[in-house]
Structure 1
Amino acid sequence: MATSVMDPLKDFLLTYFMPEKCYDEFFLNFNFLDVPCLKIILSKGLGIGIILGSVMVKLPQVFKLMGAKSAEGLSFKSILLELFAISGTMAYCIAHNFPFSAWGEALFLMLQTVAIGFLIQHYGGSTIRGVGFLVLYFLTLCLLLSPLTPMSVITTMQASNMPAIIVGRLIQAATNYKNGHTGQLSAISVFLLFAGSLARIFTSVQETGDSLMALTYVISSCCNGLIAAQVLFYWNCTPGLKKKAE
């Protein structure tokens, strides 16, 4: 009876949280302080948590845009560079057969970022251009994930993530500074992205051992931290208040 109950639990744990050696260490040897296994479980747990969080991390931003029917304060160029970085990371991880827990949030972030890019165009009065952006992006993504794209191109894209992330965030930061407010930028989305990128530094080191991936998330955390700091600095500054003051 106990065995039949434990089998599904064991399968679940081995599939999502730990290798068999760690299962044996915890449940057969009762060694709950095994540091390497604790690191693995922490990394897996964080990875799954980040993926679950990424399903909704940018939804507050999407809803804020739709509610205001305005994309004021958001930079489309920054969105394009962010998509470049997300797509490069996703293609790089898939090509290297990294576990889904190491990169799964990129898929959900990509879908939400594409939606934000479309809304920026739509509320900017260029709906047709927005539709063209969607079509062109997904065609490019299909090509990137296909066997037609050489590994050297994918590796180059991943290496280019760092400047793309830096430039993209600096463009958004410059837009915020120029406007004197963060416009329709969602504070919830900004802080969740910052927290997620910090956690990804640990999980990328633990699960992939890829220094390029880890460095990308270090840079991403610094840039997301800059935007988060601006959100706090301009907390009481809204477009309406700024226009009224002028």
Structure 2
Amino acid sequence: MKINLNILLVFAIIIVIAESKFSFINNSEYFLPLKILLFDHPVCLRKMHTVQGIKDPECQQILLTKMIGAIIIIFASFLKLPQIMKIITNKSVAGVSLKSILAETLLLSFAIGVNRWKGNPISVYGEQYLLYLQNLVIAGLFYFYDKKQDQIKLISIVIGQFMIAAIFFLKFLPDQIYTFSSLINIAVLFYSRMTQISLNYKNKSTGQIAGLSLLLELIGTIIRSWTILQEAKLDLIVYVALVNANVLIIILAFQMIYYWNSKENDKFKGNPVKTNRDKYLEQLAQIEQEEMQALQRELNGQQEAEQKLEKIISEGKQQLKEKGKKKTE
């Protein structure tokens, strides 16, 4: 597919001009960003070194794909930070599915292992390393903010995730396992997303899921799908995986929009979930308040009784005075 991009052309011309003007660049055989982006395409690297070679449509497409891949990897560093900060700020993981997070982490382990096994360039899957680490951080936050979780079990699961990842990353397994794990990826992603989707539907809310994180993930999924179609080794499993990933993230984005103003969602927006201790203290304060109100009513009753008694005594004295006057007369 031919891509004529004026911006890309200007960018490349600036690189060439910079190489000719600045000695620290001119001393190097090729400009460093081009070296990084096109390190696995030496032919295009040589062509892009000249203004004439910049016009090559095939190399334009490769460079564009590499640039987008690099941008995705950079933004992946911040993708789930809004989610992490929201949990820490609210001191709550309400509405976030631990099963979904752990399943997605396992999926990333498989995906990284398969990409390494296939020999795909790092620009195709580099962000998966960063997402893997951020998911582990979110899983770790359940240890602090969800006391219902079995903490020993949670730690064991996280350690198990590390061990599985190490085995897949280091390519210790036979080729058949990596082929089969490609199918597992699709099933695990489907389970991971559907767990969160069903939880949202049940709660009629997206809970502590950060809208910014979801939006970035949606954009990243769509753009990454395009770069995979350009660079990765394609087969039927890859096409099915791309459709699966895009459809499910679009459903989650639709739920975020649909439940945005729901009353149930308001329970999670900016309000920490109350612990049993908080509820007990609230009940105790309410009882104390009711007792104070009852005591105040009792005091008010006593004051009214005293006022009535004083009135009766006053009236009695007045009557006695009047009778005394009549007798003297």
Both proteins in one fold, TM over 0.5? yes
Q: Distance in 2 between matches of 1:110 and 1:207?
A: 22
Query: Which of 195, 220, 235 is matched with 1:196 structurally?
Result: 220
Distance 1:214 1:40, change over 3 A: farther
- Unaligned ranges ≥5, structure 2: 1-18, 269-329
Larger CA deviation: 133-142 vs 11-20: 11-20
Tell whether the 8 Å contact from 1:17 to 1:45 is kept in structure 2 after alignment: no
- Alignment of 1:103 with 2:125, yes or no, is yes
- Alignment of 1:16 with 2:16, yes or no, is no
Match of 1:234 in 2: 259
Larger CA deviation: 68-77 vs 7-16: 7-16
SS of 2:31's equivalent in the other structure is: helix
Deviation at 1:136, TM superposition (A): 1.8
Q: Which has the larger radius of gyration?
A: 2
Match of 2:61 in 1: 39
Query: Which of 83, 90, 105 is matched with 2:105 structurally?
Result: 83
Q: 1:22-171, aligned counterparts within 5 Å?
A: 22-28=44-50, 30-125=52-147, 126=149, 127-171=151-195
**Larger RCO (CA under 8 A, 6+ residues apart):** 1
Tell whether the 8 Å contact from 1:58 to 1:109 is kept in structure 2 after alignment: yes
Distance 1:238 1:48, change over 3 A: farther
One-letter amino acid of the counterpart of residue 181, structure 2: M
Match of 2:301 in 1: none
Distance 1:17 1:146, change over 3 A: closer
Q: Give me the CA root mean square deviation.
A: 2.4
Larger CA deviation: 162-171 vs 85-94: 162-171
Query: Which of 148, 152, 177 is matched with 2:201 structurally?
Result: 177
Query: Which of 20, 44, 63 is matched with 1:2 structurally?
Result: 20
Deviation at 1:222, TM superposition (A): 1.4
What TM-score does the superposition give when structure 2 sets the normalisation length?
A: 0.67
Larger CA deviation: 34-43 vs 222-231: 34-43
SS of 1:94's equivalent in the other structure is: helix
- Unaligned ranges ≥5, structure 1: none
Tell whether the 8 Å contact from 1:119 to 1:130 is kept in structure 2 after alignment: no
Q: Distance in 1 between matches of 2:136 and 2:97?
A: 13
Tell whether the 8 Å contact from 2:106 to 2:161 is kept in structure 1 after alignment: no
Larger CA deviation: 181-190 vs 161-170: 161-170
One-letter amino acid of the counterpart of residue 52, structure 1: I
Tell whether the 8 Å contact from 1:182 to 1:238 is kept in structure 2 after alignment: no
Distance 1:148 1:13, change over 3 A: closer
What TM-score does the superposition give when structure 1 sets the normalisation length?
A: 0.88
Distance 1:241 1:96, change over 3 A: closer
Larger CA deviation: 2-11 vs 129-138: 2-11
One-letter amino acid of the counterpart of residue 245, structure 2: S
Match of 2:8 in 1: none
Distance 1:168 1:147, change over 3 A: closer
Match of 2:249 in 1: 224
Q: Distance in 2 between matches of 1:238 and 1:188?
A: 20
Q: Deviation per CA, 1:1-37, whole angstroms, max 9, x where unpaired?
A: 9395343643431331473433444443525443211
